[in-house]
């Protein structure tokens, strides 16, 4: 539902971007030569306003680009399925636009969803697993519903690390039994990171305008970093998880991924809201807004106190060099940088792992129940049995985490409650909140990770470090955006902080993005 205030905010947003579009346009767009590479939402909306092209023409062009780049050409394998009704939906939106009704900045915008997010249409929701190849949800997820209400076109579903990379040992990010191995568009032999691999690759390769990923620990920010895009991992509860195949009730969240922070922020506002089907969203009451674009302020670093997380230093000197350049820029804009050595106690990592396993069994079984009597898989035991019989599923790595989850105590047990309480205290009260309070910080920054490694289906992933865990454990927000390149491979910087601090993080990240402009389109090197 569009409220009067929300409608007014949207109209002001569109008016502003239409007035400033000449500064944003990097190429001429017309119906004969529709250039999709690096296209922004503002440019797309201006094209619609100018009648340079229709929504159907845009959707058709994206589908053709997917076919030429993802299915043929470099064969990125970032998309599992395209929406068979996309063109029909586009035609209906064109008719609506002709009548003068366009109530959202996402109206007519092609969006891809990670294939663990329910859509009630002719696309299954698989989590990348062959066990769910014929599993059709009975309703839209909250995320899909919000996108449809905004007039976005769900263009298809993206490949992912199977079961969001929580199935077993020696897994390879970006591989699933359904979609195969997703490739990094900067260098095809390198890994895209995961688990929102396909979402990040599709965005980077301009196969959609924005994509929606999910994160339990690193699954939005790491693929965003490895594929040279922006990813927003919000506070848990800002976006509903209903209709998303779960791992952890405590840590799971969806989030927007885009080539620019502006486009990601537009997507974020559309997805927020209270959903009675997800109790976590009740905590966002009074803390969320439906339009985060007013926080896109170019010169907002002056006077900010930003913590520099030093633990990653010394692991990769090339990353250190980029991070030092980022620190120098941030200081030049008037911010004070305070070095911090640690954020949380090491025991929090193990506590989180135990919580994930205990919540995994409960969450998966509830999800399978939501599929009704015709569910192809009815419980965790059936899934494990299916994998053992399938010829592909266990070819490269095992299903140890599924098997471990099966043996864990329930979420009603005292051991679960005690473990959760310890993790929350260690990650929040004695973790991020304490570090920020003690140092009077507005945010913390760190390199998101090291450059993408060579994909290896035999030995699995071989990344050197990632900095997603503190915010993942606490359920706090994290924004990753391009920081530069190492030997042609993108590297990201993360800005993170307290619960519900998205507005402040957006200000800081936008100032950095606009002052550095590190994003470059991929070149698909062999």
The per-residue pLDDT for range 181-191, each reduced to its tens digit, is: 999 999 999 99
* Whether pLDDT at 233 is above 80: yes
Residue spans of beta strands (DSSP E) within 61-185:
79-82, 110-114, 153-158, 175-176, 180-181
- Alpha helices of 247-346 — where are they, by DSSP H? 261-271, 317-332
Mean pLDDT of 423-451: 98
Q: Could you read off the pLDDT of 35-77 as tens digits, one per residue?
A: 999 999 999 999 999 999 999 999 999 999 999 999 999 999 9
Residue spans of beta strands (DSSP E) within 274-364:
305-309, 336-340
Mean pLDDT of 392-417: 98
Gap between the Cα atoms of 226 and 213, Å rounded: 14
* DSSP assignment of 318-340: HHHHHHHHHHHHHHHTT-EEEEE
Gap between the Cα atoms of 191 and 454, Å rounded: 6
Range scoring the smallest mean pLDDT among 4-8, 21-25, 434-438, 502-506: 21-25
Paired strand residues for 309:
340
Q: What is the mean pLDDT of the chain?
A: 94
Give the per-residue pLDDT at 1.
39
Q: In terms of C-beta distances under 8 Å and separation of at least 24 residues, what long-range contacts does 389-393 make, across chains too?
A: 390/130, 390/131, 390/177, 392/130, 392/177, 393/129, 393/130, 393/131, 393/177
Model confidence band, residue 243 (pLDDT cutoffs 50, 70, 90): very high
Paired strand residues for 482:
492
Gap between the Cα atoms of 501 and 512, Å rounded: 17
* Whether pLDDT at 30 is above 60: no
CATH fold for the domain made of 42-349+421-516: Amidase signature (AS) enzymes (3.90.1300)
* Whether pLDDT at 16 is above 50: no
Eight-class DSSP state of 244: B
Model confidence band, residue 102 (pLDDT cutoffs 50, 70, 90): confident
Our CA angle for 435, 441, 445, nearest 5°, is 85
Gap between the Cα atoms of 39 and 25, Å rounded: 9
Gap between the Cα atoms of 328 and 461, Å rounded: 32
Domain ranges, ordered by start, for the chain: 42-349+421-516, 355-409
Give the per-residue pLDDT at 308.
99
Tokens standing for residue 443: 């945010």
How would you write 484-503 as a 3-class SS string?
Answer: EEECCEEEEEEEECCCCCHH
Gap between the Cα atoms of 362 and 192, Å rounded: 29
Q: Do the beta carbons of residue 491 and residue 483 sit within 8 Å? A: yes
Give the per-residue pLDDT at 101.
84
Give the per-residue pLDDT at 103.
73
Q: Could you read off the pLDDT of 247-295 as tens digits, one per residue?
A: 999 999 999 999 999 999 999 999 999 999 999 999 999 999 999 999 9
* Catalytic residue annotation: 114, 195, 219
Our CA angle for 283, 410, 238, nearest 5°, is 20
Tokens standing for residue 51: 């009648």
């Amino acid at each position: 539902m569009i409220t009067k205030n929300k409608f007014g905010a949207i109209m002001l947003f569109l008016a502003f971007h239409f007035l400033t579009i000449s500064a944003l346009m990097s190429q001429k767009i017309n119906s004969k030569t529709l250039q999709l590479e690096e296209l922004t939402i503002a440019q797309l909306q201006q094209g619609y306003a100018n009648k340079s092209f229709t929504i159907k023409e845009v959707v058709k062009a994206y589908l053709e680009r997917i076919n030429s780049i993802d299915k043929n050409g470099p064969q990125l394998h970032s998309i599992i399925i395209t929406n068979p009704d996309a063109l029909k939906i586009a035609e209906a939106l064109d008719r609506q636009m002709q009548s003068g009704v366009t109530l959202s900045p996402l109206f007519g915008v092609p969006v891809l969803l990670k294939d663990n997010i329910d859509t009630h249409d002719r696309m299954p929701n698989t989590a990348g697993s062959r066990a769910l190849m014929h599993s059709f949800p009975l309703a839209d997820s909250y995320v899909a519903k919000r996108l449809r209400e905004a007039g976005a076109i769900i263009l298809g579903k993206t490949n992912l690390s199977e079961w969001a990379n929580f199935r077993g040992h020696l897994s390879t990010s970006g591989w699933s039994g359904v979609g195969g191995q997703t490739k990094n568009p900067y260098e095809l032999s390198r890994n895209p990171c995961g688990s929102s691999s396909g979402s990040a690759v599709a965005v980077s390769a301009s196969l959609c305008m924005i994509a929606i990923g999910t994160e339990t620990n690193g699954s939005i920010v790491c693929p965003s970093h490895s594929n040279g895009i922006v990813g927003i991992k919000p506070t848990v509860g800002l976006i509903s998880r209903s209709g998303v195949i779960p791992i952890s009730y405590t840590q799971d969240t969806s989030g927007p991924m885009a080539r620019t922070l502006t486009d990601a922020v537009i997507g974020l506002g559309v997805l927020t809201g209270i959903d009675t089907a997800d109790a976590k969203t009740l905590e966002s009451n009074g803390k969320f807004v439906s339009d985060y674009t007013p926080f896109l302020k170019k010169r907002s670093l002056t006077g900010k106190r930003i913590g520099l997380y030093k633990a990653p230093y010394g692991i990769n000197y090339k990353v250190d060099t980029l991070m030092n350049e980022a620190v120098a820029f941030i200081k030049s804009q008037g911010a004070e940088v305070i070095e911090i050595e640690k954020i949380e106690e090491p025991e929090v990592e193990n506590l989180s792992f135990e919580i994930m396993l205990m919540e995994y069994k409960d969450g998966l079984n509830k999800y399978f129940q939501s599929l009704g009597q015709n569910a192809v898989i009815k419980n965790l035991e059936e899934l494990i049995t299916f994998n053992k019989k399938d010829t592909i599923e266990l070819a490269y790595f095992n299903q140890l985490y599924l098997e471990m989850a099966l043996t864990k105590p329930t979420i009603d047990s005292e051991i679960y409650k005690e473990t959760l309480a310890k993790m929350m205290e260690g990650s929040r009260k004695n973790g991020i909140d304490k570090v920020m309070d003690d140092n009077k910080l507005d945010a913390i920054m760190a390199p998101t990770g090291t450059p993408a490694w060579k994909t290896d289906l035999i030995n699995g992933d071989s990344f050197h470090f990632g900095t997603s865990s503190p915010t993942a454990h606490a359920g706090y927000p994290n924004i990753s955006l391009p920081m530069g390149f190492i030997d042609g491979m993108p590297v990201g910087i993360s800005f993170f902080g307290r619960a519900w601090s998205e507005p402040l993080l957006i200000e800081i990240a936008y100032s950095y993005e606009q002052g550095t402009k590190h994003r470059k389109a991929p070149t698909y090197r062999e």
